[in-house]
Structures are given as structure tokens and as C-alpha cells.
Amino acid sequence: MGDGRIGSSAVSGEGPGCQVTALTELETRILTLEQSWWRSPGAKEREILDALGITPTRYYQMLNELIDRPEAARFDPVLVARLRRRRDDRARLRSGRDLG
């Protein structure tokens, strides 16, 4: 499965002079895993290790980078929009802007 870095194994053109990278198998699996719901607090982390073979920390690093890519939004626009909103909400809370 490689070294766990987000990257591309395929490139396809979309429009003149525009190259869009395709999602790797690992990236697709990350987004698919993120579509699931978890009932207990360690279940997701165990599934990340078992199914993907990467640490939860690395998973969340990769997911954070992945949701900024247009390929991820094309794969599942609703999921990516939700994940971006959650990330933005957490960032707002951390910065104290939502204490008003």
C-alpha cells in the first residue's frame, strides 16, 4: 500500500492544460471509512489500524489534507462538505472567535 503519503497514482486531464490527480486506493478507503458511524469511543481507531494499517494520528493528518482536494469532493461531495464544516467549527472554537 505504499508509505501512507497522500499522492496520486493516476493523472487525468480536465480541460485544456488542467491536470487532476485521481484518488489513490488508500485515499478512497479513508473517505469510505469516514462515511461510517461509530458507536463506541475506540472502535474507529481500531478499525483504522486493522483496515488501513496506519495509525489514527496519520489517518487524521491524511484526511485533513484529503478534504481540501477537489478529487475528494467529487468522490463524495456531502461527506467532504461535512468534514470541512466540522474542521472549520473546531478551528473557530480553538481561536476563541465563537465565545461572543
Percentage above 70 pLDDT, the chain: 76
Give me the mean pLDDT over the 1-6 stretch: 40
pLDDT grade for 62, boundaries at 50, 70 and 90? very high
Domain count, the chain: 1
Give dist(CA 73, CA 56) in Å, integer.
22
Domain interval for residue 90: 25-95
Report pLDDT digits (tens) over 15-50. 444 455 799 999 999 999 999 988 898 999 999 999
The pLDDT of residue 38 is 83
**Domain assignment present for 54:** yes
Q: Are 8 and 24 in contact (CB under 8 A)?
A: yes
pTM beyond 0.95, yes or no = no
Q: Are 31 and 84 in contact (CB under 8 A)?
A: no
**Domain assignment present for 18:** no
> Cell numbers 478507503 correspond to what residue?
29
User: What is the four-CA torsion angle of 46, 48, 49, 54, rounded to 10 degrees?
Assistant: -150
**Domain assignment present for 88:** yes
